Homo-oligomer: A and B are copies of this chain.
Amino acid sequence: MTQSVIPVNLPQNAYEIALASDSLDRLGSWIKSLNLGRKLMLVSNPTVFGYYGKRAVASLETAGFEVHHHLFPDGEEYKTLDAVSQLYDAALEVGLERNSTFIALGGGVVGDMTGFAAATWLRGINFIQVPTTLLAMVDASIGGKTGVNHPQGKNLIGAFYQPSLVLIDPIVLGTLPEREFRAGIAEVIKYGVIWDADLFRQLEAAKRLASPSDISNQLLHEILMRSCQAKAEVVSQDEKEAGLRAILNYGHTIGHAVESLTGYTELLHGEGVAIGMIAASRLALALNLWSAEEDARQAQVIGNAGLPTTIPPGVDIDAILAKLQTDKKVKDGQVRFVLPTSIGHAIVSDRVPPDLIHETLASLQKETVQT
């Protein structure tokens, strides 16, 4: 059995990412080693809980924990303060205490909301991430970003709050819809472009990346480990996004805007990021930051993963530009972009000319990128 333990070396809140097949059945013993309180609240959604709830609960109860559970409705549209408020009620009902623990078993929505509840219930209780989507495994579950959406923008309400443990069991990807798998691959490609050229080359070599069946177990473990390492390294150097961490937003500036303008229903987050990476690459090309060949290589890998590469018809370019102004990353009115400078490296810039943004977006709406 392949097992990796990846440290997240934060100065005040160090923790580990445990990555191993069938680790879900060892969840209880992992948590026991952390010396937390006896009471746990497992938080999930009906779909994921239906697949894996029993195994998780059994493992926790065997380890001697008092286990309660709460289910959020399934979907990004329920990532609201209201839904978190219902989790508060459940926490009160079962009497969670300061040494109690919330466990998020699910994708990014469950993880972000449960983390926010953990950050804010009794001013902060223990929190453990058990991500069940590829996207959550390689991104959302690591680094302590928690929160909910505001009707007018994603993740506008939230907190930085680190988990005590992230436990990843790749086996659970077997029940993940293929479209969501591909959306997760978008973030993996991101790490290749901004941080880990070797990971990028492995993705290139794989040719097809559109389904788990395209990828060997060994490559999957490698993808998970390298992505988690990339995230952990960046976050350890800049927990609160004062500098370096901003590069993780590669593809997210345009991605968030397009997701938002399609009502968070048409595109998955990773699909928005794929479109955003195509756009950012074009901006970098126009600014002579990187080459047409690198732009094409990235487009090829994104295409191999079956991800979208154009802006959906019906999304107005001026509306995207307006939306960019409400992005959390706007500073004194300047929109920040992450731009690649070579495979494995990226920079942050708030000096992209608005005209160029407009032109680039327009070009991504009319054409279909050839891959």
Chain A interface (Cβ < 8 Å from any Cβ of B): 12, 37-38, 81, 85, 88-89, 92, 95, 97-99, 116, 119-124, 145, 147, 150, 152-153, 155-160, 240-241, 325-326, 328-332
Contacts and interface: CB of A to CB of B under 8 A. Distances in A.
Contacts of A150: 88-89, 92
Given A12-B12, A99-B332, A124-B160, 10 more contacts: A88-B150, A92-B153, A97-B330, A97-B331, A98-B329, A120-B120, A121-B156, A122-B158, A123-B159, A123-B160
A122 to B, nearest CB: 5
A12 to B, nearest CB: 7
Given A12-B12, A85-B81, A332-B38, A326 B92 contact: yes
12 contacts: A81-B85, A88-B150, A88-B157, A92-B152, A95-B326, A97-B332, A98-B328, A116-B120, A121-B157, A123-B147, A124-B159, A124-B240
A88 B148 CA distance: 12
Closest A-B pairs by Cβ, 8 of them: A123-B158, A122-B328, A120-B157, A120-B159, A123-B160, A123-B159, A92-B152, A97-B330
A117 to B, nearest CB: 9
This chain: copies in complex: 2
Given A88-B156, A92-B326, A150-B88, A331 B99 contact: yes
Nearest to A144: B123
Nearest to A125: B328
A92 B124 contact: no
Contacts of A159: 119-120, 123-124, 159
Contacts of A120: 116, 120, 147, 157-159
Nearest to A152: B92
A246 to B, nearest CB: 11
Nearest to A39: B332
A210 to B, nearest CB: 33
A332 B37 contact: yes
A289 B118 CA distance: 37
Contacts of A152: 92
Contacts of A331: 37, 97-99
A244 to B, nearest CB: 16
